Amino acid sequence: MTDYSEAYQLAKVFAIVAAKKYRIDIDDAISDGYLAVSEKITKFDPEKAKLTTYIYMVVTRQIITTLRSRKVRSCVKSNSEVVCDGAVAIPEENSDDDSSVVVRLALDLAASGKKHKTIRKSVENALVEAGWGKNRIAEAFDSVLERV
């Protein structure tokens, strides 16, 4: 059995640095770092990189991935609406306005530089996070397409 204690010590240090840099909880960052190391350490090749460089990249990538997934899920409920990243209010209940919500989300994503191929998936993910069912999402998209 190989001793990976140095890798985990490095992961802890790099996770703390990343936590300060990205202003996230240190314990969460350390957990993410340890998880990343446990998944990737067996792929380390000392002929390709130093251990410190490898662990730094593995930990940093994992923390950035976690931050991105949290951002996607950062919808905040207020009254009867869900606001995602402060951009668009998404009604929780079925309404006549569902198709306009889809259009507004798509336009916001397009304005932020998202490629058209990822916009529908991003809109669907945001609506799922807001509690919409698959049928409601499909009906809203159908309504939008009927207007075009």
Tens-digit pLDDT profile for residues 16-75: 888 888 888 899 999 999 999 999 999 999 999 889 889 999 999 999 888 877 765 555
Name the DSSP letter for residue 8.
H
| Longest distance between any two alpha carbons in the chain, whole Å | 63
The reported pTM is 0.49
Question: What's the pLDDT score for residue 92?
Answer: 46
Give residue-wise pLDDT tens across range 90-141: 444 445 456 666 666 666 666 666 666 677 777 777 677 667 788 888 887 7
From first CA to last CA, the distance across the chain in angstroms is 62
* Residue that is written with structure tokens 């190989």 in the block: 2
Residue 57 CA to residue 52 CA, distance in Å, equals 9
Backbone angles phi, psi at 78, to 5 degrees: -145, 120
Bridge partners of 78?
81
Rounded to whole angstroms, how far apart are CA atoms 98 and 69?
A: 25
